[in-house]
Structures are given as C-alpha cells and as structure tokens.
Amino acid sequence: MRIVFSGATSLTITTARTLIKEGHDVIIIEADKEKIDQISDELGCSFLHGDSAKPARLSQVDPKNSDILFCLTNSDQVNIITSLLGRLMGFKRVITSIKDTDLVQLCRELGLEDTIIPV
C-alpha cells in the first residue's frame, strides 16, 4: 500500500514505523523543515516539505495512486482542509484527526467519516 501522512506528529512517526516494517510505501508531508531533518534518518520513507492543505503540494504525492491519507497535524483546521482536498483529489481513504470534539459533527456533515479523536 501507498500511505501518505500529513504532519510528522508522534502518532505519525509511530504509525509510519509500523507500516514501513510491514513493507508499505510511506510518504510524510511536513511544513517544518527542521522536523523533517530530525526524523528523516530514523525513518525509511519519503518526505515532502510543505503545507498539505495547499492543493499544489498535496497533488505532488499522486493521490489517485495512493491508498490512504492520514491527516495528523496538530491543527484540526489543517486536518479538515487537507482531508477534504484529499477526498476530492482521489485518495481511496482519508482519515482525519480531530482534537476538538465540537468539530466531530462538522466532519460528519462534510462526509469525513473516518475520524480519530486522540485522548
């Protein structure tokens, strides 16, 4: 499987490690270049520097040929926008992390049914 992550959070890193060990192709999009530099040596995957909520950046990971988009940044708003873009661009499955439980209903209304609510 080809799996794309938006945001290099601790959840991303943990999940990516497992998926890489299982032989999946992993790409992480991260806005903070320093964060990419810190973790790129420990993870055997591809990185793309930039804002995943921008259509031009998200299109660079070839959404139609990617299986899953995990939106796991620390910003609910970025996660929602990236999820909507990902769905429109052709990702087969989009998973959205939402910390503010007040936004869960909005996600459902927008058709973002696969949500993660971290505790």
Q: What tens digit of pLDDT does each residue of 19-32 get?
A: 999 999 999 999 99
Query: What is the rounded CA–CA span in Å between residue 24 and residue 2?
Result: 6
Quick one: pLDDT at residue 119? 73
Give me the percent of the chain exceeding a pLDDT of 70.
100
Which phi and psi (to 5°) does residue 29 adopt? -100, 125
Global confidence as pTM: 0.94
Query: What is the rounded CA–CA span in Å between residue 45 and residue 89?
Result: 22
* Strands, sheet with 93-97, edge to edge from the N-terminal-most edge strand: 46-49, 25-30, 2-6, 68-71, 93-97, 115-116
